[in-house]
Amino acid sequence: MNPVVDVKDLETTFFLKSGPFRAVNRISYSINQAETLGIVGESGCGKSVTSFSLMRLIDRPGKVTHGQALLNGKDLFKLSEPEIESVRGGQMAMIFQEPMTALNPVLTIGFQMNEQIEKHLKLTKKDAKDRAIEMLQLVGIPSAAERYDNYSHQLSGGMRQRAMIAMALSCNPQFLIADEPTTALDVTIQAQILELFQNLQEKLKMSVQFITHDLGVISEVSDKVLVMYAGQMCETGPTQEVLTSPRHPYTAALIESRPQMGHRIDRLKTIEGSVPAPHELPVGCPFSNRCSRVKSECWTIKPAFVNITPTRKIACFNPL
C-alpha cells in the first residue's frame, strides 16, 4: 500500500542571532489511509514545528532546510504559494492547539467556515452555509444554526474545540493534523472529543497525525507512535508494542512518569535534568545528559535510527 503521507528527512531550522537551531532534525515517517500516527514527547521536542512545516506555515526566522513531505506522491515543499493554498484546508487540514487563538475573534464561526468551504468545495454561499451547519451538527454542537452566527468568545471551550474540528473536516480532507486538540479540556469533554474524533476518522477514512504529550490519549487513538526528543526521533512502532515494551530509555522514562491506576505512590517518577538548550545539545545522542543507561560513545556519536524488528525502530546504543 502506498502511504498517503510520506515524510523523508524533514529538517526545519530557525536562524537566530545566536546561530542556527534545528528544531526538527532529519525525521522520517509515513501514514497510510485511515491510519493514525501519534507523535509524543516533552514540550519543545519539535512536535508542533513538524506539523507547521508540513502545512507550510513556518515563518521567518524559521525555514524548512531539507527533506520532502509527500501527500499522495506530491511534494508539498515544491508547490507554489497558490498551489499550497489550494491544498491547505482542502486535501489536508489542521486542528490547532488552542482554538481561542486559532479562531478569528472578530468574525463569526459561520463566516470562517464558509470562507474555506466556498474556496475548496466550490459551493454557493447558501450551500456553503448548509454544509457548515451540517458539520456543526455532526460534531455535536447543539442549536447549530444559532451557533453558526456566534463569535468564538460566545462559545465554551469544548464548543470552540468542536467548532475547530468541524472547520477542519468541512472539506473532507484526506490528511488531518490534530495538534493537542484536547489539552485545554476537562476529562469529560476530552473523552467526548476523542470518541467523536475516532468516529469521524472511521467514517471519512482520513490519515491522521495526532500530536500530544499524553500517552493515555495516544494509546486510545493511534495505530503507531513516534517518540521525539530535541527535534530527533527516538523510537517508533505499533502503539501497543511501544507502550507495553519500550526499548529506548527516553520512551521508558516517559511511561514510568505516568500515574498507574491501582498503584498508590507518594511521588511520581520524573526524568532527571532538563532538555538542553539548542546551543548545548551533545554532539552524540541528545538524551545522553539525562539517560540512566548512557555509555561513553553516547556523548560523541549520534546513534543511527535503525530497525530492531520489522515494525520497530530506535536510535540508541544501549536499548532496553
Amino acid at 244: T
Ranked by mean pLDDT, the top range of 10-14, 20-24, 170-174, 288-292 is: 10-14
> For position 132, what pLDDT does the model report?
96
Q: Do residues 7 and 68 make contact, with C-beta atoms less than 8 angstroms apart? A: yes
List all residues 6 or more positions away from 22 whose beta carbon is below 8 Å from its beta carbon: 11, 12, 13, 65, 231, 278
Indicate the average pLDDT of the chain: 91
Q: What percent of the chain has pLDDT over 70?
A: 99
Q: Which three cell numbers stand for residue 166?
A: 468541524
Q: Do residues 61 and 14 make contact, with C-beta atoms less than 8 angstroms apart? A: yes
> For position 136, what pLDDT does the model report?
93
Judged against a pLDDT cut of 90, whether residue 190 lies above it is answered with no
**What global pTM score does this model have?**
0.93
Spatial distance between the Cα atoms of 304 and 99, rounded to a whole number of angstroms: 38
Of the listed ranges 27-31, 44-48, 94-98, 152-156, the least confidently predicted one is 94-98
> For position 126, what pLDDT does the model report?
95
> For position 236, what pLDDT does the model report?
97
Per-residue pLDDT tens digits for 52-93: 999 999 999 999 999 999 999 999 999 999 999 999 999 999
> For position 116, what pLDDT does the model report?
92
Judged against a pLDDT cut of 80, whether residue 265 lies above it is answered with no
Judged against a pLDDT cut of 80, whether residue 264 lies above it is answered with no
> For position 63, what pLDDT does the model report?
95
> For position 68, what pLDDT does the model report?
97
Judged against a pLDDT cut of 90, whether residue 149 lies above it is answered with yes
List all residues 6 or more positions away from 309 whose beta carbon is below 8 Å from its beta carbon: 237
Check the CA dihedral 17-55-221-217 and report its sign. positive
Whether residue 3 has a cis bond before it, omega within 30° of 0? no
Judged against a pLDDT cut of 70, whether residue 266 lies above it is answered with yes
> For position 184, what pLDDT does the model report?
65
**Sheet of 207-211, strands arranged across:** 92-95, 175-179, 207-211, 36-40, 224-229, 232-238, 313-314, 306-307
Q: Which 3-state string (H, E, C) describes the chain?
A: CCCCEEEEEEEEEEEECCEEEEEEEEEEEEECCCCEEEEECCCCCCHHHHHHHHCCCCCCCEEEEEEEEEECCEEHHHCCHHHHHHHECCCEEEECCCHHHHCCCCCCHHHHHHHHHHHHHCCCHHHHHHHHHHHHHHCCCCCHHHHCCCCHHHCCHHHHHHHHHHHHHCCCCCEEEEECCCCCCCHHHHHHHHHHHHHHHHHHCCEEEEECCCHHHHHHHCCEEEEEECCEEEEEEEHHHHHHCCCCHHHHHHHHCCCCCCCCCCCCCCCCCCCCCHHHCCCCCCCCCCCCCCCHHHHCCCCCCEECCCCCEECCCCCC
Mean pLDDT for 268-284 is 84
Q: Which three cell numbers stand for residue 136?
A: 456543526
> For position 315, what pLDDT does the model report?
96
Mean pLDDT for 149-161 is 91
Spatial distance between the Cα atoms of 133 and 298, rounded to a whole number of angstroms: 55
Amino acid at 288: S
